[in-house]
Amino acid sequence: MGGPHARTPRNPARPRVFATRWLPGPALERLAERSELRVWPEPRPPGPAELADAAREAEGLLCLLCDRVDAALFEACPRLRVVSSVSVGVDHIDLEEATRRGIPVGHTPGVLTETTAELAFALLLAASRRVAEGDRLVRAGRWTPDRAWDPELLLGRDLLGATLGVLGAGAIGAAVARRAAAFGMRVAVWSRTRRELPGVPEPLWGSLEETLRRSEFLSIHLPLVPETRGLLDAARLGMLPRGAILVNTARGPIVDEAALVRALESGHIAAAGLDVFGTEPLPLESPLVRLENVVLTPHIGSASLATRARMAELAVENLLAGLERRPLPHCANTVSNSRPNTIP
Ligand code: DGY
C-alpha cells in the first residue's frame, strides 16, 4: 500500500490502525499523524478473509457498514481495542461479542440526520410524483408530440393533506416528520418511546397496526435489530391503505422484499422509494429493478460532501478516543472492562 496508506519503517510508539476505505475530507490525514495507518487499497471492500488478514495486527479498526465485524474477525485480530464505524447503523457489527471482549464500538449518529431526512423526502416526492418514470420517458423518446401535454400523463399523488406514517421517531424520523409537516401532511408515528417532535403539530401516536392503517405514505426510520428484521411482512404491508407509497432509507431487511414486490405488482402499494435493500448492491435480477413504480438509489442516505466529511471526522474521533482509552464520543455498546493498553 502506498502514499499515506502505509508508513515504513513502523513507529512502535504509535498504535496500528487499519481502515477499510479512504474517506472524503481530511480526517484520515489527521489519523495518519497519530497512528500507523494502513488503508485497504482497493476500490471494492475487503472480503472477510482479506479483512481478517489486513487487520490482524491492528489495535484500531475503522470500518464501513459493508464490512462484517463478527466473532471470527475479533478472533483473528487479538490486538483490537476499538472499532469505529463510519455509519450510524451498527447491524454489521456483532455488538454483543465486542462488548464481551471489552471492545468499544464507535458510530456516527447526529451528523447525518438532516442529510438522510432529505433523501427520504426526495424519494417520497420522486415516488409520489413519478419523477424517475418521467425522466426515463423523456430520455427514451417516449414524450411524443401526441403527448405534448397529456392530461393523463404520469398522474401522481399530492403530499398536501395526506398522512405520512413514520416508523421510528429517532433523530432521522423526527427530521422527516418535521419536513412532512412543512409540506402540509399529517404525521402518524409509531416508536418505542414517545418524544417531543418540534415542528410537528399534533402527531398521531399509535400502535404499529394503527400507524400502518393511517399511512397513505410511509417512511421507515428503525434500526435493524432482531425485532425489526422482517417487521414489514406481507400481513403488515397489507394493513397500509390501498395505493400507499413506501419509502425506506433505513435498512432493507426490515421489509420483506418479496412481499413488497407482490404489493407493488398488485397496486396495493402504488409506489416505493428505496435506498436500502436485502442484498446490497441490489442484484440486477431483483424484480424491483424491472418495476416502473419504484425509485431506486444505491444506499446514499448520508451521501453529501459535508456529511460524509463529518462522519469521517467523528469516526476518527471515536477511534482515537478508544486508542487513548478515553470514552468514545459516540459509543454503540457499553464496555466495562476495556482491555489493557498494550501501547507504550
Ligand atoms: C448509516 O450510517 O447507517 C447509513 O445507513 C449510511 O450512512
What are the pLDDT digits (tens) for 43-59? 999 999 999 999 999 99
Q: Residue 25: its pLDDT value, please?
A: 86
Give the atom of ligand 1 at the shortest distance from the alpha carbon of 251. 5
Burial label, 268 (beta-carbon count in 10 A; 0-12, 13-18, 19+):
middle
- Please write the tens of the pLDDT for every residue from 169-187: 999 999 999 999 999 999 9
- Specify the residue with its C-alpha closest to ligand 1, atom 2: 87
Cα–Cα dist 108/312, whole Å:
8
Joined together, the cell numbers standing for residue 204 give 398521531
∠ CA 65-70-76, nearest 5°, is 120
299 catalytic? Reply is yes
Tell me which CATH code domain 16-111+305-323 carries: 3.40.50.720
Residues lower than pLDDT 70 in the chain: 1-9, 337-344
Q: Residue 9: its pLDDT value, please?
A: 59
Q: Residue 322: its pLDDT value, please?
A: 98
Cα–Cα dist 82/281, whole Å:
28
251 catalytic? Reply is yes
Alpha-carbon separation of residue 26 from 63, 230, 313, 315 (angstroms): 17, 38, 8, 12
Chain centroid offset of residue 74 CA: 24
Whole-number Å distance, alpha carbon 30 to ligand 1 midpoint, is 23
Give the atom of ligand 1 at the shortest distance from the alpha carbon of 116. 7
Cα–Cα dist 220/215, whole Å:
11
Report the C-alpha dihedral over residues 304, 229, 243, 186, rounded to 10 degrees: -60
Whole-number Å distance, alpha carbon 89 to ligand 1 midpoint, is 6
Whole-number Å distance, alpha carbon 97 to ligand 1 midpoint, is 21
Joined together, the cell numbers standing for residue 39 give 488503508
**Shortest CA distance to 317 belongs to which of 109, 78, 67, 171?**
109
44 catalytic? Reply is no
Tell me which CATH code domain 113-296 carries: 3.40.50.720
C-alpha distance across the termini of the chain, in Å:
26
301 lines ligand 1 (CB under 6 A): yes
Q: Where in the chain is the domain with CATH 3.40.50.720?
A: 16-111+305-323, 113-296
- Please write the tens of the pLDDT for every residue from 130-146: 999 999 999 999 999 99
173 lines ligand 1 (CB under 6 A): no
Q: Residue 11: its pLDDT value, please?
A: 81
65 lines ligand 1 (CB under 6 A): yes
